[in-house]
Structure 1
Amino acid sequence: MLWLWAPLAVAQPLHQQLDAGAQRAWVKGVSQERQAAAAALFKEGNGYYEKAVFLRAAELYRQALEQWDHPAIHYNLALALMDTGLKLELREHLEAAMRYGEAPLDQKMLEHARNLRVFVEKQLVRVEVSCEVSGASVTMDGRPLLTAPGHYEGWALPGSHVFVAAKKGYPPNERVRNPREGETLTLNIDGLYDDRELTRYRRIWAPWKSWAVVGAGVALAAGGGLLHLQGRDDLRSFDARATECGLLGCVPSSEFEDLRNRGRQFQKVAMGTYVAGGALIVTGAVLAYINRAEPYRLTPDEYEQDTHIALQIGTARRELLVTFRF
């Protein structure tokens, strides 16, 4: 959208001459040689600007500012930047151009600078960051903002921005924000959190499910053990009666034969349950290993949200308890 203002920039008269009055605040401390060098670069930049060679004009204006920090140079540089998309730098130079009001410009140029700044700021994000953790340093996208306790105000482009608060003894506390153009991004950092606070553990499924499989295997194996004992007792009874019958010379009955068959059947079933129970125990143990707790890391925002929810739940419980007591 910013390129739509480029024709208006051309229509606006450039500041053509640098005011060098001895009493002016922007003149103090600047030698005649530096003033002359800046004026020459300024004039050359105006020539390129009038030919619509804006990038070259902006380069010359920047060189002029190195010699002399004059509001009129900032103003012309802002106009040259209107078709470049460098919104942050454009706003910075508009701010510098208006620093002393009308004196270095004129009413028309000052009003134009104000209107242009309002337009540009609608496409930027106002950033307000504060931190109360003494000794902590805060950066935005790797750029230092402040050392706490402190407050920062500035501007940024819309989109994703990474804020990192760091202090000795703590891991970097990273927060991500995604403001849109025209918004104000406010970030208040009230605390830093260590690895213990930011670490959580999670499982694929509830732990009891794995141990339920193990328990089922143990129960099945135990049932097999009971069948095995019952079969053993039946076979022992058969052996005892067979010995007794052999001594007395009796004929074995069908019930006598069933006792042996039942004992053998119980032991066969018991062996099957041993195998099945063992398989379930091994399967449950493997599932328990797969489902072991895995650590993961919270962001400071997620930690604060968890803490806030826990606080709300605790408060609600206390209020409910007081209500019941009442």
Structure 2
Amino acid sequence: MLKSRPSTALALVFLLLAWAAPVSAQQLSTGTERPWAKGVSQEKQKTALELFRAGNALLKESIFVQAAEKYRQALALWDHPAIHYNMALALLNLDQPVEVHEHLESAMRYGAAPLDSEKFENARAYKTLVEKQLSRVIITCDSPGASVSLDGRVLFVAPGRYEGLVRPGQHTLLATQEGHPTTDMSRTLLPGETTPLALKLYTTEELTRYRRHWAAWKPWALMGAGVAVALGGGALHLQSRSSYRDFDTQVASCGGCVPPQTVTDLRIRGDNLQRVALGTYALGGAAVITGAVLVYINRSQPYRINPGSAESESQAVNLAPLFGGRERGIQATFRF
């Protein structure tokens, strides 16, 4: 997969978010009355907040990998929007825009309640900016039982649909099922655009095409020409025999006299016509034999095309731009 560098707009967000202060321990509170705390025990909340605080300390020191790991551990205990938001801060600095988008969506899941309204709008703006740097794909497959994967990651078993964001660049789609040729499709995706892609499993018959060395009529035309030449030779042969008959008749009527030149010319003409007829037979026969051989060589030969080529034949890719939002970056705080 080809990776693209963040654009100037996204780089600006990185810079602004680098100054964002994580939630301090004094700002945290626990309880079960809030929707995002439903079903989470006090013990899990307490442990998650401790991990969250440790992640914040690492984030302040720009130790992003370890900070992200602390937030990941905290989210395993408590799926809190604020933790998702700080996770997005860490991942932005690790150049993981797809994961950043996922965590920003989770941070906005309950609206502005776990964040103040200003910070919620900031999260919306960050999310829009990230979307401009990524490509959105809509992948569908209606072939029952087909396993559909994108860049080696299984998305679903058909029939199904997947919609998500990926980095711009070249990506490979596969649809596989036992007993069917694998459908392999490669596409280069552009940032900020939506690309619908429909995959299909094909049978061997659907992927079979036929080709010849030459146009089908050419060997047959050569055979036909050979037959015509041979027929011409036959006509010359008949004329030769006619000349010989005329010669024999004239000699017989002469009664043993020396035949005049006109009679001798009949024999000479017959000899010449016979030689030409034999040559014509040889030429026509060679053409017929050659044409027959070429007809055999030129018989229709089956070959299989790549399923991706079949996809290209049957599918047009339409691109639709995503809508952008305003660009803002500001320090984040949270309300629990």
Q: TM-score, normalised by structure 1?
A: 0.76
Aligned residue type for 2:89:
L
Q: Could you tell me whether the CA contact under 8 Å between 1:139 and 1:146 is conserved in 2?
A: yes
Q: Could you tell me whether the CA contact under 8 Å between 1:78 and 1:94 is conserved in 2?
A: yes
Using the alignment, how far apart are the partners of 2:232 and 2:314 within structure 1?
A: 48
Aligned residue type for 1:259:
L
Which runs of structure 2 are paired with 1:303-318 in the superposition (5 Å)?
A: 303=314
Aligned residue number for residue 9 of structure 1: 17
Using the alignment, how far apart are the partners of 1:281 and 1:259 within structure 2?
A: 32
Secondary structure of 1:45's match? helix
Q: Could you tell me whether the CA contact under 8 Å between 2:170 and 2:189 is conserved in 1?
A: yes
Aligned residue number for residue 31 of structure 2: 21
Aligned residue number for residue 210 of structure 2: 201
Using the alignment, how far apart are the partners of 1:9 and 1:147 within structure 2?
A: 39
Aligned residue type for 1:12:
A
Q: Could you tell me whether the CA contact under 8 Å between 2:233 and 2:276 is conserved in 1?
A: yes
Indicate yes or no: 2:244 matched with 1:210. Answer: no
Using the alignment, how far apart are the partners of 1:233 and 1:99 within structure 2?
A: 106
How far the C-alpha of 1:139 sits from its partner, in A, is 4.7
Q: Could you tell me whether the CA contact under 8 Å between 2:226 and 2:286 is conserved in 1?
A: yes
Aligned residue number for residue 299 of structure 2: 292
How far the C-alpha of 1:193 sits from its partner, in A, is 5.7
Q: Could you tell me whether the CA contact under 8 Å between 2:143 and 2:201 is conserved in 1?
A: yes
Using the alignment, how far apart are the partners of 2:301 and 2:272 within structure 1?
A: 47
Identity %: 51
Which runs of structure 2 are paired with 1:115-130 in the superposition (5 Å)?
A: 115-129=125-139
Name which of structure 1's ranges 8-17 and 198-207 shifts more when overlaid on structure 2: 198-207
Distance 1:60 1:236, change over 3 A: farther
How far the C-alpha of 1:268 sits from its partner, in A, is 1.9
Aligned residue type for 2:20:
Q
Secondary structure of 2:284's match? helix
Distance 1:304 1:259, change over 3 A: farther
Q: Could you tell me whether the CA contact under 8 Å between 2:138 and 2:164 is conserved in 1?
A: yes
Listed one character per residue, the Cα deviations across residues 154-211 of structure 1 (whole Å, up to 9, x for unaligned) are 323334445556778866566655442211223567x876444554434354311221
Indicate yes or no: 2:275 matched with 1:273. Answer: no
Aligned length: 302
* Larger RCO: 1 or 2 (CA < 8 Å, sep 6+): 2
Aligned residue number for residue 259 of structure 1: 266
Aligned residue number for residue 55 of structure 1: 65
Secondary structure of 2:136's match? strand
Using the alignment, how far apart are the partners of 2:74 and 2:289 within structure 1?
A: 80
Indicate yes or no: 2:103 matched with 1:93. Answer: yes
Which runs of structure 2 are paired with 1:90-169 in the superposition (5 Å)?
A: 90-129=100-139, 138-141=148-151, 143-146=153-156, 151-163=161-173
Q: Could you tell me whether the CA contact under 8 Å between 2:223 and 2:287 is conserved in 1?
A: yes
Using the alignment, how far apart are the partners of 1:101 and 1:38 within structure 2?
A: 21
Distance 1:255 1:97, change over 3 A: same
Indicate yes or no: 2:244 matched with 1:235. Answer: yes
How far the C-alpha of 1:147 sits from its partner, in A, is 5.5
Indicate yes or no: 2:65 matched with 1:65. Answer: no
How far the C-alpha of 1:120 sits from its partner, in A, is 0.7
Q: Could you tell me whether the CA contact under 8 Å between 2:55 and 2:66 is conserved in 1?
A: yes
Distance 1:37 1:242, change over 3 A: farther
Q: Could you tell me whether the CA contact under 8 Å between 2:71 and 2:86 is conserved in 1?
A: yes
Name which of structure 1's ranges 33-42 and 250-259 shifts more when overlaid on structure 2: 33-42
Listed one character per residue, the Cα deviations across residues 104-159 of structure 1 (whole Å, up to 9, x for unaligned) are 33334322221110001112223334566777665545545455665543323334
Distance 1:260 1:182, change over 3 A: same
Q: TM-score, normalised by structure 2?
A: 0.74
Listed one character per residue, the Cα deviations across residues 4-49 of structure 1 (whole Å, up to 9, x for unaligned) are 4322121222233454222223333334444344333333322332
Q: What is the root-mean-square deviation of aligned Cα atoms in Å?
A: 3.4
Structure 1: unaligned runs, 5 residues or longer: 306-326
Using the alignment, how far apart are the partners of 1:262 and 1:268 within structure 2?
A: 10
Using the alignment, how far apart are the partners of 2:29 and 2:161 within structure 1?
A: 36
Using the alignment, how far apart are the partners of 1:163 and 1:203 within structure 2?
A: 32
Secondary structure of 1:154's match? strand
Aligned residue number for residue 302 of structure 1: 313
Aligned residue type for 2:269:
R
Distance 1:19 1:253, change over 3 A: farther
Using the alignment, how far apart are the partners of 2:172 and 2:301 within structure 1?
A: 26
Name which of structure 1's ranges 109-118 and 62-71 shifts more when overlaid on structure 2: 62-71
Indicate yes or no: 2:217 matched with 1:221. Answer: no
Using the alignment, how far apart are the partners of 2:67 and 2:204 within structure 1?
A: 52
Indicate yes or no: 2:90 matched with 1:83. Answer: no
Aligned residue type for 1:219:
A
**2:40 aligned residue (21, 30, 35):** 30
- Answer 1 or 2: which has greater helix percent: 1
Secondary structure of 2:99's match? helix
Structure 2: unaligned runs, 5 residues or longer: 1-6, 317-336
